[in-house]
Amino acid sequence: MIEFALTRRETTHRFGDWPMAVKSILAFWLFWYLTVFARAFLSADPGTILLNRSLTLGVGIVLTVLIYVAFQYLARDVSLKRRIAAGLFASLVAAAAQAAILISVDRFLEKPQEQMQFTSREGHTVVETGNTLRIERTGQAPLVLTFPRLSDLNASHRFRYAADSAVTWFFFFAAWSAFYMAMLSQAAALRAQRRVADAESAAQAAQVRALRYQVNPHFLFNTLNSLSSLVMTGRTDRAENMLLALSTFFRTSLSLDPSADVTLAEEIDLQRLYLDIEKARFPDRLHVEIDVPPGLDQARLPALILQPIVENAIKYGVSKSRKAVLLRIEARHLGDGRMVVEISNRLKNSAKEELPAATHEGTGVGLANVCQRLEARWGHRASCRFGPMNTGGYKVSLTMPVETSV
CA 356 remoteness from chain centre: 47
Amino acid at 348: K
Please tell me the pTM assigned to this model: 0.50
Q: Are the C-beta atoms of residues 228 and 246 closer than 8 Å to each other?
A: no
| Predicted confidence (pLDDT) per residue in 8-17, tens digit | 344 446 777 8
Q: What is the pLDDT of residue 312?
A: 86
The ranges of the chain annotated as CATH 3.30.565.10 are 214-401
Q: What is the pLDDT of residue 10?
A: 40
Q: What share of the chain is helix, strand, coil (3-state, %, to 5)?
A: 60, 15, 25
Q: What is the pLDDT of residue 299?
A: 94
| Residue 16 to residue 72: CA distance in whole angstroms | 10
Q: Does domain 214-401 have CATH number 3.40.640.10?
A: no
Q: What is the pLDDT of residue 130?
A: 67
**Which parts of the chain register pLDDT below 70?**
1-13, 113, 130, 151, 199, 202-219, 258-259, 350-365, 406
| Predicted confidence (pLDDT) per residue in 365-379, tens digit | 678 878 888 888 888
Q: What is the pLDDT of residue 4?
A: 35
Q: What is the rounded radius of gyration, in angstroms, for the C-alpha atoms of the chain?
A: 40
| Residue 343 to residue 189: CA distance in whole angstroms | 41
Q: Are the C-beta atoms of residues 396 and 388 closer than 8 Å to each other?
A: no
Q: What is the pLDDT of residue 266?
A: 92
CA distance readout (Å), 339 to 22, 151, 299: 52, 82, 9
Amino acid at 384: C
